[in-house]
Structure 1
Amino acid sequence: MKLRVSLHFAGDDIRSVGILSEQGRESIFAFDESFLASGLSPSPFRLPPARGVQAYDGRGGMETFGLFEDALPDGWGRRIVDTRFRRLRGRLPSLLERLACLGDDGMGALTFHPIDESMVEGDRGDFRLETLAESAWAFDDNRAEDVLPELRRAAGSSGGARPKMNVGINPRTGLVCAPGAHLPQGYEPWIVKFNTRAEGPDAGRREFAYSEIARDAGADVAECRLIETKAGVFFATKRFDRSPGGRRLHMHSAAGLLHADFRTPGDECAILFKLSDALTRDYAAKTELFRRACLNVLFHNRDDHLKNFAFLMNEKGVWRPAPFFDFTFAQGPNGWQTLSVSGEGEHPGEADLLRLADDVSLRRADAAAVLDRVKSVRDEWRDRLQNLGVKLPTPPTI
């Protein structure tokens, strides 16, 4: 089996990148000559544009090159794909078959053809979020023999442990439709997260409150909202890999760019700054990353692994950090910060953050101003979290 990989930026702006195939269990990729002439480099460190065939080197505990690994569903979305595929074919899908299941609306701008239409079929009409939520919970509780088509379309390309849906939302009417490369007029691309039974009903409110905290601290955050339904209150965030007018942006996680195993703690936060310098050469981008490090430490988001940081590339090959996402109160492995700060993972604090700023060549005055603002926001929000009815899963340590 072979897949043609393309970057679909908008409408007819589709750039064929190359051919992905397998030899045994080894991923093989060959760039198109026409793409090599374009000057674009969608994964410059681990799959740089070059003539000839390149084989995945096995780094990072991934199934394939990080460029394509980022497109694969993981966690909950992977279970959705596996359940449907096993029901149709009596077995689990191969790597290329998983990618063929994505359809034309996976995260970012990458597309894979031919598409497995049996996995992406389903009504594109309007539906209710509570129906989707009930179906997701039934699937989670092993009460569903098959996967609702709308759930399969909405969740089949998502990552993370929580049920996460790519949908179109009409902000004027509140109606929701299945995702697609071309949403109906008046609909916008959003991601809606359903809480799991283990998290309880407050997970959405908690993540929304944290998005407001990040915004107050000056972080770049996509538009977020809470959606109230008969089934509960859900957190929603507008997709930042889509821009007004339907243009798409290529998205690549830090883990995928570096072929880093994000599941294993021990990476240094400083690696993000080196990555940003190499991609963007933008001091403001580095300042933004420092702001996020301060937020993660001071607001106890210890699940700050490398797949929760990403970069976006436009059709001209210009990179920038993706907006801050998956920011919420969370424990890391054994309660430690997943990304250690200047070598400190157990109890990182202000001194470690300022040492990080020095290590990555941030001006001390700029770093101090960012840290002071985050501390001020923390002081303001301690009481507001309680007033909003947001319950933290463990005694507050922010």
Structure 2
Amino acid sequence: MPTRRIDVRIGARAVPVGELIFEADGTRETSAFTYHESWLALERAFPLSPDMPLVAAPFYGRRDGERSALPLPMTDTAPDSWGRKIIELLRGTQYLTELDYLLESDDRLRIGALRYFDGPGAEATALAPPRADGVNVPRLHDLDEVIRQARAFEEDPAGYARRRAELVGGDLLAEAVGSLGGARPKVNARDREGALWIVKLPKIDDDYAVARAEVMTLRLAREVGIDACVADILNTSQRFPAALIRRFDRVGADHSDRVPFISAQTFLGLGGTAASSYEDLAMAMRRHCVDPAGQIVELYRRMVFGILIRNTDDHLRNHGFLRAPGGWRLSPAFDINPEHRPGGRMQTAISEIHGNLPSIDAALDASAFFDIDRRTAEQMTGDMARHIAGAWRRIGGQLGMDARDFSAVGAAIETEDLAKACRL
């Protein structure tokens, strides 16, 4: 692969930020990113991530195990897992570089505000441009064909690749996936006002309505004072419904303004799937967040909520930060799911001392690491637990949860830890 030079820009106005130079030789991949002088001179300029300060020197990267050669803020805009599988089959090639995955994503759909162009200047083309001038993003009321294709892909990936040219809309799945990550099938869609939503589709092997459980959990989180994503249910022709999660990185009257986003993985400067702790996040937030005291309390509240509802898929890419004037702030909470199988461990530790077991006792003992005194932590936890115990079935009923759903979610939520917390 020859050396590629990519002009990196930001926002709907495509303000130039820097240049990315990417090289690949077999499985060896390297990159160098340098901020443009024009970006460094801007009064409103900010570092793309805490480990990429505003300096003229280049930032180098190389592929190392699970760590991408791309700069960390750019890895957050590339597809992961489900999106990569779609790209691999539709490209039909044996090997794709990290840059290939990044540039196969639709420019309008990538998470956050970073954009990639084939050169400097006003005549440069966005990579990859929308394939059909926006028609490629399905509407919420017209998703059945996309859902059928997702199911066909899950059932027979090789057969789907062979048949894709015959499908209505051509590469419809690839055009709707964007840079979405995670293992569950998901696509982007627009509502009647033009706002983008993530549509999380049921999997073939689901044995209960996971979508109803996730939407219930996000609504429950909002009721206990957590800033969580707006979420809803979309009934389809399939056995189980899809979950609708409104994207928080698009704002403005016409939903075209892009908000810079980085994962907690990038916020901590960790590549690949390296793990860390909520304590480490709190320490970094003291240095890089606006209103760090309030944001750290919000982080602690989310950690305790996750323990109470047994969310063990809390890895660092399931936490995020949005750019705000003067620093970063937590994005709305997303990807919170009760885990009904026993014995799970948190992907992000409470602290180095307290480890990964989802324990309310450990969370209370660690409250000082979040600048919260023990009595306040107990009051917060008790209030949250009592509301969860009294509200989750009500919200689930409003969403149409049935006996199978209540049984699966109840096994995760109605635990001794919740009962103990209710007594605080």
Give the shorter-chain TM-score range: 0.7 to 0.9
Question: C-alpha distance in 2, partners of 1:270/1:332?
Answer: 26
With 302-311 and 114-123 compared, the bigger mean Cα shift is at 114-123
Deviation at 1:84, TM superposition (A): 1.7
CA contact (8 A) 1:102 1:112 kept: no
User: CA 1:69–1:223 in structure 2 vs 1: closer, same or farther (change >3 Å)?
Assistant: same
1:233 to 220, 238, 241: 241
Percent identity of equivalent pairs = 25
**Equivalences for 1:337-356 in 2 at 5 Å?**
337-342=346-351, 343-345=353-355, 347-356=357-366
Question: C-alpha distance in 2, partners of 1:138/1:35?
Answer: 45
Q: Report what 1:49 is aligned to.
A: 54
Deviation at 1:372, TM superposition (A): 1.9
**Equivalences for 1:21-32 in 2 at 5 Å?**
21-24=21-24, 25-32=29-36
Deviation at 1:311, TM superposition (A): 0.4
2:181 to 159, 166, 183: 159
User: CA 1:15–1:317 in structure 2 vs 1: closer, same or farther (change >3 Å)?
Assistant: farther
CA contact (8 A) 2:338 2:412 kept: no
TM-score normalized by the length of structure 1: 0.85
Question: C-alpha distance in 2, partners of 1:43/1:103?
Answer: 21
Q: Secondary structure at the match of 1:134?
A: helix
**Equivalences for 1:215-234 in 2 at 5 Å?**
215-231=222-238, 232-234=240-242
Q: Report what 1:203 is aligned to.
A: 210
Question: C-alpha distance in 2, partners of 1:167/1:227?
Answer: 12
Query: Could you tell me which amino acid in structure 2 is paired with residue 348 of structure 1?
Result: P
Deviations 1:354-382 (A, max 9, x none): 22221221244443332122211222146
Question: C-alpha distance in 1, partners of 2:389/2:179?
Answer: 38
Question: C-alpha distance in 1, partners of 2:341/2:65?
Answer: 19
Deviations 1:156-197 (A, max 9, x none): 311000111111112xxxxxxxxxxxxxxx221111100111
CA contact (8 A) 2:213 2:396 kept: no
Deviations 1:132-171 (A, max 9, x none): 111011111224125543321211311000111111112x
Deviation at 1:288, TM superposition (A): 0.9
Q: Secondary structure at the match of 2:286?
A: helix
Residue 310 (1) aligns with residue 320 (2): yes
**Equivalences for 1:1-398 in 2 at 5 Å?**
1-8=4-11, 10=12, 13-24=13-24, 25-39=29-43, 40-56=45-61, 61-63=66-68, 64-86=70-92, 90-105=93-108, 106-114=110-118, 115-117=126-128, 120-121=131-132, 123-124=135-136, 128-141=142-155, 142=157, 143-145=159-161, 147=164, 148-170=170-192, 186-231=193-238, 232-245=240-253, 246=255, 247-261=257-271, 263=273, 265=275, 267-282=276-291, 283-314=293-324, 316=325, 318-330=327-339, 335-342=344-351, 343-345=353-355, 347-381=357-391, 383-384=393-394, 387=397, 388-389=401-402, 390-391=405-406, 393=408, 396-398=411-413
CA contact (8 A) 1:42 1:313 kept: no
CA contact (8 A) 2:341 2:412 kept: no
Deviations 1:15-46 (A, max 9, x none): 21111112441111111001111252343432
With 40-49 and 212-221 compared, the bigger mean Cα shift is at 40-49
Query: Could you tell me which amino acid in structure 1 is paired with residue 89 of structure 2?
Result: T
CA contact (8 A) 1:7 1:16 kept: yes
User: CA 1:78–1:333 in structure 2 vs 1: closer, same or farther (change >3 Å)?
Assistant: farther
Question: C-alpha distance in 2, partners of 1:297/1:26?
Answer: 39
CA contact (8 A) 1:335 1:346 kept: no
Question: C-alpha distance in 1, partners of 2:32/2:342?
Answer: 33
RMSD: 2.7
CA contact (8 A) 1:80 1:156 kept: no
User: CA 1:41–1:330 in structure 2 vs 1: closer, same or farther (change >3 Å)?
Assistant: farther
Question: C-alpha distance in 2, partners of 1:319/1:30?
Answer: 22
Query: Could you tell me which amino acid in structure 2 is paired with residue 199 of structure 1?
Result: D
Query: Could you tell me which amino acid in structure 2 is paired with residue 302 of structure 1?
Result: T
CA contact (8 A) 2:310 2:339 kept: yes
Structure 2 segments unaligned to the other structure (5+ residues): 119-125, 165-169, 414-424
Query: Could you tell me which amino acid in structure 2 is paired with residue 241 of structure 1?
Result: D
Q: Secondary structure at the match of 2:235?
A: strand
The aligned length equals: 375
Deviations 1:286-345 (A, max 9, x none): 11111100111111001111111110014x454211000001113799721112223334
